[in-house]
Amino acid sequence: MNKCIVGALLFCLAIGCGEKLEVRVTVRNPLSWDRQKETVEIGWAELQKKLKGVTDSTILVLNAAGEEIPSQVLFKGEKQPQSLIFQTDVPSDAEAVYRLVLGHPQAYRPEAYGRFVPERMDDYAWENNLVGHRMYGPALEATGEISNGIDVWVKKTGELLIDEWYRTGDYHKDRGKGMDCYKVGRTLGAGALAPYRDGKIVLGNNYIHQQTLDNGPIRISFRLDYAPFQVGKEEITETRTITLDANSRFNRIEERYTGIKDSLEVVAGIVVRPEPGQIWKEAEKGLMGYWEPQNNDNGDNNGHLAVGVIFLQPAKEIVEREGHLLGRVDYPVGESFVYYMGSGWSKGGVESPESWLKMLEQEREKRLHPLQVSME
Protein backbone atom coordinates (compact mmCIF):
# COMPACT_ATOMS: atom_id res chain seq x y z
CA MET A 1 0.00 0.00 0.00
CA ASN A 2 1.21 3.51 -0.82
CA LYS A 3 3.00 5.20 2.15
CA CYS A 4 0.91 8.34 1.73
CA ILE A 5 -2.31 6.31 2.01
CA VAL A 6 -0.97 4.54 5.12
CA GLY A 7 -0.08 7.90 6.65
CA ALA A 8 -3.54 9.27 5.90
CA LEU A 9 -5.20 6.23 7.47
CA LEU A 10 -3.07 6.54 10.60
CA PHE A 11 -3.92 10.24 10.81
CA CYS A 12 -7.65 9.47 10.53
CA LEU A 13 -7.39 6.74 13.14
CA ALA A 14 -5.62 9.13 15.51
CA ILE A 15 -8.26 11.79 15.01
CA GLY A 16 -10.99 9.20 15.41
CA CYS A 17 -9.52 8.04 18.70
CA GLY A 18 -9.29 11.65 19.86
CA GLU A 19 -5.48 11.55 20.12
CA LYS A 20 -3.57 14.76 19.48
CA LEU A 21 -0.71 14.71 17.00
CA GLU A 22 0.93 17.80 18.48
CA VAL A 23 0.89 19.97 21.57
CA ARG A 24 0.98 23.75 21.42
CA VAL A 25 3.17 25.39 24.08
CA THR A 26 2.81 29.10 24.84
CA VAL A 27 5.61 30.80 26.79
CA ARG A 28 4.91 34.24 28.26
CA ASN A 29 7.46 36.72 29.56
CA PRO A 30 5.95 38.84 32.40
CA LEU A 31 8.94 41.19 32.61
CA SER A 32 9.52 44.48 30.80
CA TRP A 33 12.76 43.39 29.09
CA ASP A 34 13.58 40.71 26.54
CA ARG A 35 14.60 37.27 27.76
CA GLN A 36 16.92 35.26 25.55
CA LYS A 37 18.05 31.61 25.53
CA GLU A 38 16.19 30.83 28.73
CA THR A 39 15.17 27.29 29.64
CA VAL A 40 11.55 26.11 29.65
CA GLU A 41 10.73 22.91 31.53
CA ILE A 42 7.61 20.76 31.03
CA GLY A 43 6.70 17.86 33.29
CA TRP A 44 6.84 14.50 31.52
CA ALA A 45 3.65 13.11 33.10
CA GLU A 46 1.67 16.13 31.86
CA LEU A 47 3.22 15.79 28.39
CA GLN A 48 2.31 12.09 28.21
CA LYS A 49 -1.33 12.93 28.88
CA LYS A 50 -1.46 15.40 26.01
CA LEU A 51 0.77 13.69 23.43
CA LYS A 52 -0.07 9.99 23.33
CA GLY A 53 2.74 7.61 22.51
CA VAL A 54 5.54 10.04 23.28
CA THR A 55 8.85 8.52 24.44
CA ASP A 56 12.19 10.00 25.40
CA SER A 57 13.49 9.25 21.87
CA THR A 58 10.46 10.43 19.87
CA ILE A 59 9.87 14.05 20.85
CA LEU A 60 10.61 17.13 18.76
CA VAL A 61 10.26 20.82 19.62
CA LEU A 62 9.39 23.12 16.70
CA ASN A 63 9.50 26.92 16.75
CA ALA A 64 6.93 29.24 15.18
CA ALA A 65 8.58 28.78 11.78
CA GLY A 66 8.26 25.01 12.06
CA GLU A 67 12.00 24.50 12.57
CA GLU A 68 13.32 21.88 14.97
CA ILE A 69 15.20 23.37 17.93
CA PRO A 70 17.39 21.56 20.50
CA SER A 71 15.63 19.89 23.40
CA GLN A 72 16.59 17.49 26.18
CA VAL A 73 14.63 14.87 28.08
CA LEU A 74 15.61 14.96 31.76
CA PHE A 75 15.82 11.86 33.92
CA LYS A 76 17.10 13.56 37.11
CA GLY A 77 18.89 10.39 38.11
CA GLU A 78 15.77 8.21 37.68
CA LYS A 79 15.13 5.39 35.18
CA GLN A 80 12.08 7.05 33.62
CA PRO A 81 11.83 10.51 32.01
CA GLN A 82 10.92 13.32 34.39
CA SER A 83 10.62 16.39 32.16
CA LEU A 84 11.41 18.00 28.82
CA ILE A 85 13.43 21.18 28.43
CA PHE A 86 14.20 23.55 25.57
CA GLN A 87 15.36 27.16 25.35
CA THR A 88 13.35 30.15 24.22
CA ASP A 89 13.61 33.82 23.26
CA VAL A 90 10.64 35.90 24.44
CA PRO A 91 10.35 39.69 23.98
CA SER A 92 9.29 41.91 26.87
CA ASP A 93 5.71 41.37 28.04
CA ALA A 94 5.04 39.05 25.10
CA GLU A 95 4.56 35.41 24.12
CA ALA A 96 6.39 32.82 22.04
CA VAL A 97 4.67 29.71 20.68
CA TYR A 98 6.19 26.26 20.11
CA ARG A 99 4.86 22.89 18.99
CA LEU A 100 5.75 19.50 20.44
CA VAL A 101 5.37 16.66 17.94
CA LEU A 102 6.37 13.02 17.60
CA GLY A 103 9.56 12.38 15.64
CA HIS A 104 13.20 11.43 15.95
CA PRO A 105 15.36 14.34 17.13
CA GLN A 106 18.66 15.31 15.58
CA ALA A 107 21.94 14.90 17.42
CA TYR A 108 22.21 18.37 18.97
CA ARG A 109 25.55 20.01 19.64
CA PRO A 110 26.08 19.91 23.43
CA GLU A 111 26.41 23.25 25.23
CA ALA A 112 26.46 21.86 28.78
CA TYR A 113 28.61 19.01 30.03
CA GLY A 114 30.22 17.60 33.14
CA ARG A 115 31.97 14.50 34.43
CA PHE A 116 33.86 12.78 37.20
CA VAL A 117 37.60 13.12 36.54
CA PRO A 118 39.38 10.21 38.25
CA GLU A 119 42.57 10.90 36.28
CA ARG A 120 42.89 14.26 38.10
CA MET A 121 42.46 13.35 41.78
CA ASP A 122 38.68 12.70 41.55
CA ASP A 123 37.69 16.22 40.48
CA TYR A 124 34.13 16.76 39.35
CA ALA A 125 34.19 19.35 36.56
CA TRP A 126 31.27 20.93 34.71
CA GLU A 127 30.76 23.69 32.17
CA ASN A 128 28.53 25.25 29.57
CA ASN A 129 29.27 27.54 26.63
CA LEU A 130 29.94 30.48 28.99
CA VAL A 131 31.49 29.27 32.27
CA GLY A 132 33.31 26.35 33.87
CA HIS A 133 33.70 25.01 37.43
CA ARG A 134 35.02 22.13 39.46
CA MET A 135 34.72 20.55 42.90
CA TYR A 136 37.28 18.44 44.73
CA GLY A 137 37.04 14.74 45.52
CA PRO A 138 38.40 12.02 47.82
CA ALA A 139 41.69 11.34 46.00
CA LEU A 140 42.74 14.97 46.45
CA GLU A 141 41.75 14.92 50.13
CA ALA A 142 43.98 11.86 50.62
CA THR A 143 46.96 14.05 49.66
CA GLY A 144 46.08 16.51 52.44
CA GLU A 145 44.47 19.12 50.15
CA ILE A 146 41.03 19.70 51.66
CA SER A 147 38.38 21.98 50.16
CA ASN A 148 34.68 21.89 49.43
CA GLY A 149 34.72 25.36 47.87
CA ILE A 150 33.62 26.02 44.30
CA ASP A 151 36.33 26.60 41.70
CA VAL A 152 35.89 28.80 38.61
CA TRP A 153 37.35 28.28 35.13
CA VAL A 154 37.02 31.35 32.91
CA LYS A 155 36.24 31.07 29.20
CA LYS A 156 36.25 33.29 26.12
CA THR A 157 34.91 30.63 23.73
CA GLY A 158 31.65 28.74 23.41
CA GLU A 159 33.59 25.49 23.05
CA LEU A 160 33.40 22.83 25.77
CA LEU A 161 36.92 22.60 27.19
CA ILE A 162 36.94 20.18 30.13
CA ASP A 163 38.19 17.14 28.24
CA GLU A 164 40.81 19.12 26.29
CA TRP A 165 42.18 20.85 29.37
CA TYR A 166 42.40 17.70 31.44
CA ARG A 167 44.01 15.83 28.54
CA THR A 168 46.72 18.45 28.05
CA GLY A 169 47.02 19.66 31.64
CA ASP A 170 47.63 23.12 30.19
CA TYR A 171 44.93 25.34 31.64
CA HIS A 172 46.72 27.70 34.02
CA LYS A 173 47.69 30.07 31.22
CA ASP A 174 45.33 31.67 28.69
CA ARG A 175 46.07 30.19 25.27
CA GLY A 176 43.19 32.04 23.65
CA LYS A 177 40.23 30.08 25.06
CA GLY A 178 40.38 30.81 28.80
CA MET A 179 42.12 29.45 31.87
CA ASP A 180 42.02 28.41 35.52
CA CYS A 181 43.28 31.38 37.53
CA TYR A 182 40.82 31.24 40.45
CA LYS A 183 42.28 30.35 43.85
CA VAL A 184 40.07 28.36 46.22
CA GLY A 185 42.21 26.70 48.91
CA ARG A 186 40.54 26.09 52.28
CA THR A 187 37.67 28.50 51.59
CA LEU A 188 34.14 28.45 50.20
CA GLY A 189 35.56 29.65 46.89
CA ALA A 190 32.99 31.13 44.53
CA GLY A 191 29.81 30.80 46.56
CA ALA A 192 29.63 27.43 48.33
CA LEU A 193 27.30 27.05 51.33
CA ALA A 194 28.37 26.07 54.86
CA PRO A 195 26.87 25.89 58.36
CA TYR A 196 27.47 28.95 60.51
CA ARG A 197 27.79 28.35 64.24
CA ASP A 198 28.84 30.77 67.00
CA GLY A 199 29.86 33.38 64.45
CA LYS A 200 32.18 30.99 62.57
CA ILE A 201 32.08 29.18 59.23
CA VAL A 202 32.09 25.40 59.66
CA LEU A 203 33.95 24.14 56.61
CA GLY A 204 33.30 20.63 55.35
CA ASN A 205 35.73 18.37 53.49
CA ASN A 206 35.92 17.09 49.91
CA TYR A 207 32.96 15.17 48.54
CA ILE A 208 32.99 11.36 48.95
CA HIS A 209 30.48 10.31 46.25
CA GLN A 210 29.28 11.79 42.98
CA GLN A 211 26.41 11.02 40.60
CA THR A 212 25.67 12.63 37.25
CA LEU A 213 21.90 13.11 36.93
CA ASP A 214 21.65 14.60 33.41
CA ASN A 215 24.36 15.49 30.94
CA GLY A 216 23.56 17.81 28.04
CA PRO A 217 23.00 19.00 25.46
CA ILE A 218 21.19 21.79 27.38
CA ARG A 219 21.58 20.92 31.07
CA ILE A 220 24.25 19.34 33.25
CA SER A 221 23.05 18.27 36.70
CA PHE A 222 24.90 16.23 39.33
CA ARG A 223 24.83 15.35 43.02
CA LEU A 224 27.70 15.35 45.51
CA ASP A 225 27.56 13.62 48.90
CA TYR A 226 29.78 14.58 51.82
CA ALA A 227 30.89 12.58 54.84
CA PRO A 228 29.31 13.46 58.22
CA PHE A 229 31.02 16.36 60.00
CA GLN A 230 30.65 18.06 63.34
CA VAL A 231 28.67 21.28 63.73
CA GLY A 232 28.67 22.18 67.41
CA LYS A 233 27.32 19.12 69.21
CA GLU A 234 25.57 17.74 66.14
CA GLU A 235 26.95 15.48 63.44
CA ILE A 236 25.37 16.40 60.12
CA THR A 237 25.64 15.22 56.52
CA GLU A 238 25.47 17.32 53.38
CA THR A 239 24.17 16.63 49.87
CA ARG A 240 24.79 19.23 47.18
CA THR A 241 22.91 19.12 43.85
CA ILE A 242 24.14 21.50 41.16
CA THR A 243 22.42 22.35 37.88
CA LEU A 244 23.79 24.48 35.04
CA ASP A 245 21.98 25.25 31.78
CA ALA A 246 23.45 26.34 28.47
CA ASN A 247 23.68 30.11 27.92
CA SER A 248 23.57 30.91 31.64
CA ARG A 249 26.29 32.10 33.99
CA PHE A 250 24.34 30.94 37.03
CA ASN A 251 24.23 27.56 38.76
CA ARG A 252 21.20 26.42 40.71
CA ILE A 253 22.48 24.87 43.94
CA GLU A 254 20.25 22.76 46.16
CA GLU A 255 21.71 22.01 49.60
CA ARG A 256 20.32 19.43 51.98
CA TYR A 257 21.63 18.94 55.52
CA THR A 258 20.49 16.03 57.68
CA GLY A 259 21.08 15.36 61.37
CA ILE A 260 19.88 18.80 62.51
CA LYS A 261 17.72 18.72 65.61
CA ASP A 262 16.54 22.29 66.08
CA SER A 263 17.85 25.12 63.90
CA LEU A 264 20.80 25.95 61.70
CA GLU A 265 22.22 29.13 60.25
CA VAL A 266 24.15 28.86 57.00
CA VAL A 267 26.28 31.19 54.91
CA ALA A 268 27.11 31.32 51.23
CA GLY A 269 30.64 32.63 50.93
CA ILE A 270 32.81 34.26 48.28
CA VAL A 271 36.51 34.38 49.06
CA VAL A 272 37.84 37.99 49.08
CA ARG A 273 41.34 38.81 47.84
CA PRO A 274 43.81 41.02 49.77
CA GLU A 275 43.96 43.64 46.97
CA PRO A 276 41.07 46.10 46.50
CA GLY A 277 38.08 44.90 44.47
CA GLN A 278 34.46 45.99 44.19
CA ILE A 279 31.79 44.50 46.46
CA TRP A 280 27.99 44.69 46.46
CA LYS A 281 25.94 43.87 49.56
CA GLU A 282 22.17 43.99 49.14
CA ALA A 283 20.78 41.96 52.04
CA GLU A 284 17.15 42.93 51.46
CA LYS A 285 17.38 41.58 47.91
CA GLY A 286 19.41 38.55 48.97
CA LEU A 287 22.13 39.55 46.51
CA MET A 288 25.88 39.86 46.86
CA GLY A 289 28.55 40.33 44.23
CA TYR A 290 32.29 40.68 43.88
CA TRP A 291 34.48 42.11 41.13
CA GLU A 292 37.95 40.77 41.89
CA PRO A 293 41.15 42.80 41.58
CA GLN A 294 43.13 42.21 38.40
CA ASN A 295 44.60 38.72 38.23
CA ASN A 296 48.31 38.66 37.37
CA ASP A 297 49.13 34.93 37.44
CA ASN A 298 52.21 33.98 35.40
CA GLY A 299 53.05 37.68 35.15
CA ASP A 300 50.15 38.21 32.73
CA ASN A 301 47.23 40.59 32.85
CA ASN A 302 44.45 38.04 33.13
CA GLY A 303 41.69 40.56 33.66
CA HIS A 304 39.08 40.48 36.40
CA LEU A 305 36.95 37.61 37.66
CA ALA A 306 33.41 38.30 38.82
CA VAL A 307 31.43 36.17 41.28
CA GLY A 308 27.94 36.51 42.72
CA VAL A 309 25.33 34.80 44.89
CA ILE A 310 21.56 35.20 44.76
CA PHE A 311 19.13 34.10 47.47
CA LEU A 312 15.42 34.14 46.64
CA GLN A 313 14.77 35.71 50.04
CA PRO A 314 16.33 38.50 52.08
CA ALA A 315 19.61 37.67 53.81
CA LYS A 316 19.84 38.26 57.56
CA GLU A 317 23.10 40.08 56.84
CA ILE A 318 25.89 40.30 54.29
CA VAL A 319 29.28 40.92 55.88
CA GLU A 320 33.01 40.61 55.21
CA ARG A 321 34.38 38.10 57.70
CA GLU A 322 36.98 35.30 57.83
CA GLY A 323 38.35 36.29 54.44
CA HIS A 324 34.95 35.97 52.79
CA LEU A 325 31.96 37.96 51.68
CA LEU A 326 29.25 36.09 53.61
CA GLY A 327 25.49 36.06 53.12
CA ARG A 328 23.77 34.63 56.20
CA VAL A 329 20.34 32.94 56.17
CA ASP A 330 18.37 30.39 58.20
CA TYR A 331 18.36 26.86 56.86
CA PRO A 332 14.84 25.31 56.60
CA VAL A 333 15.28 22.23 58.79
CA GLY A 334 13.84 19.10 57.19
CA GLU A 335 13.84 20.67 53.71
CA SER A 336 16.33 21.68 51.03
CA PHE A 337 17.70 25.17 50.50
CA VAL A 338 18.03 26.52 46.95
CA TYR A 339 20.16 29.47 45.88
CA TYR A 340 22.17 30.57 42.82
CA MET A 341 25.83 31.35 42.23
CA GLY A 342 27.39 32.73 39.09
CA SER A 343 30.66 33.87 37.61
CA GLY A 344 32.08 35.94 34.79
CA TRP A 345 35.31 37.29 33.32
CA SER A 346 36.26 40.69 31.96
CA LYS A 347 37.91 38.95 28.97
CA GLY A 348 34.95 36.67 28.39
CA GLY A 349 31.72 38.61 28.07
CA VAL A 350 31.49 40.60 31.35
CA GLU A 351 33.14 43.87 30.46
CA SER A 352 32.76 45.90 33.66
CA PRO A 353 31.63 45.86 37.29
CA GLU A 354 28.45 47.65 36.22
CA SER A 355 27.60 44.98 33.66
CA TRP A 356 28.15 42.24 36.25
CA LEU A 357 25.82 43.93 38.74
CA LYS A 358 23.17 44.24 36.03
CA MET A 359 23.50 40.52 35.25
CA LEU A 360 23.04 39.68 38.92
CA GLU A 361 19.97 41.89 39.25
CA GLN A 362 18.38 40.53 36.07
CA GLU A 363 19.03 36.93 37.10
CA ARG A 364 17.31 37.58 40.40
CA GLU A 365 14.29 39.05 38.58
CA LYS A 366 14.12 36.06 36.23
CA ARG A 367 14.10 33.63 39.13
CA LEU A 368 11.45 35.59 41.01
CA HIS A 369 9.33 36.01 37.86
CA PRO A 370 9.75 32.80 35.83
CA LEU A 371 8.49 32.37 32.32
CA GLN A 372 4.82 31.35 32.29
CA VAL A 373 4.22 28.13 30.35
CA SER A 374 0.90 26.68 29.18
CA MET A 375 0.10 23.67 26.97
CA GLU A 376 -2.94 22.88 24.84
* 8 Å CB contact between 236 and 225: no
Residue (of 132, 114, 138) closest to 124 by Cα position = 114
- Please write the tens of the pLDDT for every residue from 331-369: 999 999 999 999 999 999 999 999 999 999 999 999 999
Percent of the chain with pLDDT over 90: 94
Note the pTM of the prediction, 2 decimals. Answer: 0.94
Quick one: pLDDT band at residue 19, thresholds 50, 70, 90? low
- Please write the tens of the pLDDT for every residue from 88-124: 999 999 999 999 999 999 999 999 999 999 999 999 9
Contacts of 139 (CB under 8 A, 6+ apart): 118, 121, 122
| CB hemisphere CA count around 355 (13 angstroms) | 14
* 8 Å CB contact between 139 and 178: no
Quick one: pLDDT band at residue 21, thresholds 50, 70, 90? confident
